[in-house]
Every structure is written in C-alpha cells, then in structure tokens.
Amino acid sequence: MESLPGDTSSFTKFRTASVAQNGPDIMGIWSGSYMLAMKDFLEPMSGYFSEEERSRILGWETVAEGFDPANEIWAVPASSDGQSCMFYDARLLEKANIDPEGDWRTSLDAFIAAMDAIKGAGVTPLVLDENAIIWQWFAWWQAQMMGGASVVNELVSGQRNFVDSPLPEITTGWQKLKDYTVPGAETMPGDAGYQVMAQGNIAMTTGGVWVIPTLEDMLGENLRMIQIPNFSPDAPLQDGGIGGVGNCFMITNYSQVKDEAVAFVKFLMSKEEQELKAESREGRLLNVTDVDTAAFYSPLRQKQQEWATLPSTVFWLDNLYPADLTNEIKAQSQLAWTGQISPADFLGAIDAKRNELLG
C-alpha cells in the first residue's frame, strides 16, 4: 500500500509504473477524464458487477466511456465529494446585518450588494484560492447558466465555443469578485484559502465537505454553510454547485490477481464497510443507497450528503474536460481574475487550446 499526493502527479506516477507493468493492482483516484485517460492500463469492470450490485452504488456515469453508464465501465465509483459551497462566519454576517436566508444569493447584483455591506462593516467578504476561483465558483456559474454537464460537454466537442454567450457575461461578472477577496489568495494552492479564515475578519470562503473539520475547529458553532450564489434568477439550474462522485477504484489490466482485486473493492463498497466508514465520520461522503448516514453524520456533513444527490449538483468540470484543457483553463484563469487579460482573451485562449486538442 502506498499513499500518493492528491493532485495530478498521481496520474503521471501511475502511467509511468503501468508502462513497465509494475503499478498497483488497485488504485483509488479521481473519477472522470483523468481516470479515463488511463484506460489503456485498466481492466473493464462491466463484466464483474451485476445490475443488482450496480444499483446500490451511485456515480457509474463518472467512470463510464463517454460518461454514459450504458457504455463500458472502467472503474468503480468510490465516494462523493458532496457539493462545493460557501462557508461563512455567522458573527460577521450578523455584524453586516446580512440575513443568511435572505435574497442576496439570488443573483450577481444581489450578491455584490451584500458584499458591499460586509465590506462597509470593516470585514473582508471573501477568501478564494487558486481552485476556488475557477473550479468552484466560475464553474458553478458556467454550469448553471448553460444548463448542466451535458451542455458543457458541447464545449469539449466543439459544438459550442467558450467565447459564445453566456460565458463572456459570466466572466465579466466573475472578475468583479476580486475586489472583495483577500489580495493574492488566488495564488494560494487549492484548499489553502479557507484556512485564512482563522484570522477572524473574513466572512466567507468556498470548499467542500473535506474542509468542515478544519473550519469547525476554527469557528466552532459560528460556522455555517450555504450554497454559492446564483449568477441569475433566470438560470436553467438554481441553488446548486459543483461536486458529486469524484473518486473511484480502478484495477489494472496487468494485475495477476484481478478477481481478488475486484472482490476487495466489492468488500470496501459493501453495506457493512460503508456503515463503518460513515461511523468514522472521516474522508469523503458515501455514494451508496443503503446506509442511513443521518445516524452518524453531523448536521453540516449530513446536509452535504443530501446536496450531493441534487439534480443541481454538477460533476466537476475539471474532470469533464480533457486534462490538457483543464490545465489551460486553470493557467488562464489566474490572468483573467487579476485583469491581466480580458474576458474575450481568456475565453479565446481556451477555445484555441480546445481546437488544438481536437486537431
């Protein structure tokens, strides 16, 4: 057993080992496009799982060819990331006379007005790190305005262009957020931004279920959780976020113990083991249908479990895009966020990279 870094370097290490056929029998990794890019080294899973076994596990589309569960399955969905959302310090919203249940999350304009009020109370409204600005916030506005993952996939195939509406309007609105955030936070590595809330004068951040323990230690009973504001009340999707079943178990096609490896994965995904996982209150959320997580989870964690299965929870866009396109978007997002390039240049660069990948 070996623990690997929780970033894209794990895929490089897996590919290098697999070329020499000395990689692991089983590997736990992100689902989606990164995993699918490794399928030359993966054992197809369709023949190992009955319909009954598959029916209690959610997220098969995230490990399927073309993201269609009717196609070949290349891994086993392992857990859910819940829904990326906004965490806030209740004391600081109260200081700015912001009602958490008010209509300030219904649109960009309403949210800007709320942040002006927070700023006027002497509080920094937001802290957003390098992943939060693009894969949690921008991605949600993009997905909700376009109507979900299937429409976003049309950007990958070239049926749509990034420079087409509504993305220029979204980018312009997104750039306005920078004036309300901790300066320079956008260069912090992923999941570093929320830790700055320990300073006690920052109202909000974004993240997922994995940040709850740290923020609870920082803020105690003052920690609250709410969905990221909508870009527009007219968006096809409302009140949601990016997330879902973002992790999987994959088995190598050169393994000498494939049957045993599959049996071990089935054991890990069994009701009994999943109940023990829920009871531990550690790691990611469950993606099985036969465990009552409410019996084990804290209110915030349970709310995340419920949000994870909402129709408005859209699968991670960085795991829908080809890896090279994901890297280009992230690199360009830093320049666009800080105003070094215009929305047109930002989106045009992404289209150019997409076209290059399509050949």
User: Is the entire prediction scored with pTM above 0.85?
Assistant: yes
pLDDT at 259: 98
**CA 250, chain centre distance (Å):** 20
pLDDT at 223: 97
pLDDT at 281: 87
pLDDT at 181: 97
Band of residue 238 on the pLDDT scale cut at 50, 70, 90 = very high
pLDDT at 191: 75
- Over residues 98-106, the mean pLDDT reads 95
CA–CA gap between residue 317 and residue 303 (Å, rounded): 22
Band of residue 2 on the pLDDT scale cut at 50, 70, 90 = low
- Residue 258 pLDDT more than 80? yes
Residues in the chain: 359
User: In a 3-state reduction of DSSP, which class is residue 130?
Assistant: helix
- Residue 129 pLDDT more than 70? yes
Band of residue 5 on the pLDDT scale cut at 50, 70, 90 = low
pLDDT at 86: 97
- Over residues 270-287, the mean pLDDT reads 95
pLDDT at 189: 87
pLDDT at 53: 98
Q: Which residue has the tokens 């299937």?
A: 150
Lowest-pLDDT choice from 85-89, 195-199, 341-345: 195-199
- Over residues 250-268, the mean pLDDT reads 98
- Percentage of residues in the chain having pLDDT higher than 70: 98
For residue 37, what are the contacts with CB-CB under 8 A and spacing of at least 6? 11, 322, 323
Q: What Å distances lie between residue 327 and 135, 206, 273, 330, 332, CA to CA?
A: 11, 21, 36, 5, 9
CA–CA gap between residue 25 and residue 91 (Å, rounded): 49
Band of residue 1 on the pLDDT scale cut at 50, 70, 90 = low
- Over residues 302-307, the mean pLDDT reads 97
Q: What Å distances lie between residue 170 and 11, 110, 145, 244, 318, CA to CA?
A: 32, 15, 9, 23, 18
Domains and CATH numbers, the chain: 9-82+244-313 (3.40.190.10), 85-241+322-358 (3.40.190.10)
- Over residues 96-116, the mean pLDDT reads 97
- Residue 231 pLDDT more than 70? yes
pLDDT at 190: 77
Band of residue 317 on the pLDDT scale cut at 50, 70, 90 = very high
**CA 251, chain centre distance (Å):** 23
- Residue 6 pLDDT more than 80? no
pLDDT at 33: 93
Short-list 82, 86, 52, 49, CA closest to 286: 82
- Over residues 191-211, the mean pLDDT reads 91
Q: What is the mean pLDDT of the chain?
A: 95
- Over residues 83-103, the mean pLDDT reads 97
